[in-house]
Amino acid sequence: MFFPIGDDNSDIRRTPFVNYLFLGVNIFVFVFLQGMGADEVFTNTYSLVPKEIIDGIDLVGDQIIVDPTGNAVAISHFATDYSLNLNFLSSMFMHGDFAHLFGNMLFLWIFGDNLEDRLGHLRFIGFYVLCGVGAGASQIVMDTESIIPMLGASGAISGVLGGYVALFPKRQVRAIVLGRIVSIPAILMLGIWFGMQVVFGLLTPEGIGGVAYAAHIGGFVFGLVSIGIFAIGTDESHRGNPFYR
């Protein structure tokens, strides 16, 4: 439907070091630790599994599930060497394949720098991580018995989108629509994106290789409602505030 390629950064005054760091970590993990997504042991060990979090039990070995087409599929689980709850964090920096990584990094590149400029580096870190945790929790609540590993930065980035539309609703976002480059207000483009997540989430059964729409929705809502707290005292008149960093 549309493909975002940029936004208005004319008012940015600080270098988005944290956003660059998040981009770099995601790419590094995918290429060097996940072996471009081919290392099943690393990927499944440090992904987030709803049933493990709910039951507090680390699943090990092959688990059999029936996918949406009725086929029996084995999912391999491997023992983690630390608290399962830390997988909320590790899973945020892993991806299933290159397309998954590219799409997430594109949205983070476009929308993350504006939030970091407004919030400051430290607050942006806290906001991003908490949005990712909130997104993961949303998916777990919606499917407590799932043993399918969850991974990806999309939950945290959905929170960034929610925060962006709250702070910059009228900012113009450049996007490719039907082969043409057009400018669209953020509230319209991201509103359409959110609506698509809701519709697809209702119509698409969760399964092998499925999209965690509940995580996208939960992350977006968390970012939308919490950004006001993180943005307290961060307008132009407070740039000298020592907490605005």
CA trace torsion 130, 168, 173, 162 (10° rounding): 30
232 within a domain of the structure (yes/no): yes
245 within a domain of the structure (yes/no): no
CA–CA dist 86, 103 (Å, integer): 25
Please give the tally of structural domains in the chain.
1
152 within a domain of the structure (yes/no): yes
Q: Containing domain of residue 16, as a range?
A: 3-238
Report how far apart, in Å, the C-alpha atoms of 213 and of each of 126, 136, 142, 185 are. 23, 11, 10, 24
244 within a domain of the structure (yes/no): no
> Tens digits of per-residue pLDDT, 65-81?
877 677 888 899 999 98
pTM of the model: 0.92
243 within a domain of the structure (yes/no): no
60 within a domain of the structure (yes/no): yes
Q: Which segments of the chain have a pLDDT < 50?
A: 208-209, 237-245
- Domain of 209, CATH number, reads 1.20.1540.10
201 within a domain of the structure (yes/no): yes
139 within a domain of the structure (yes/no): yes
> Tens digits of per-residue pLDDT, 35-56?
999 999 999 999 999 999 999 9
Q: What per-residue confidence (pLDDT) applies to 204?
A: 76
